[in-house]
Amino acid sequence: MADEVRMTITVARVLRVFLDDVAQPRYGYELMRLTGYPSGKLYPVLARLERAGWLTKEIEDIDPAIEGRPARRLYRISADGIQAARLALAVLSEQLRLAPGTGRRLRPHGGLV
């Protein structure tokens, strides 16, 4: 069973890259440049999205001897991921749009639970 994904700005920015071109596979260093996140911030997000089934990972189909470099791990957004990510981003966008009013929202007794 896939884990739930807690949507944050960090996760949203990574998903945005995939949703910009859903057919385009991405590799780690490329995602670092596109999001501006350091490796230590990006890879845990990729791990979480992969575990949730929103991303799939495959090894690049090349001959390392010919290319002169190792095969990369390519991440693709899955069909379920596209649907879930679009919905989650829409919800997040709506929440951010309503953000100015949230200063008055109810806070649970002694915490957020």
Q: Is 25 within 8 Å of 18 (Cβ atoms)?
A: no
Please report whether residue 97 would count as binding other proteins according to CB under 8 A.
no
Residue 73 main-chain phi, psi, to 5 deg = -90, 125
Please report whether residue 39 would count as binding other proteins according to CB under 8 A.
yes
Rounded CA-CA distance 79/37 in Å is 25
Stretch that binds other proteins, among 7-15, 18-26, 83-91, 93-101 (CB under 8 A): 7-15
DSSP string, 23-60: T--EEHHHHHHHH---HHHHHHHHHHHHHHTSEEEEE-
Q: Mask: binding to other proteins, 49-88, rule CB under 8 A, as x and -?
A: --x----------------xxxxxx---------------
Q: Please say which residue, 8 or 93, places its beta carbon nearer to other proteins.
A: 8
Please report whether residue 38 would count as binding other proteins according to CB under 8 A.
yes
- What's the first-to-final CA gap in the chain, in angstroms? 25
Could you list the residues that contact other proteins (CB under 8 A)?
Answer: 3-4, 6-8, 10-11, 27-29, 32, 38-45, 47-48, 51, 68-73, 103-113
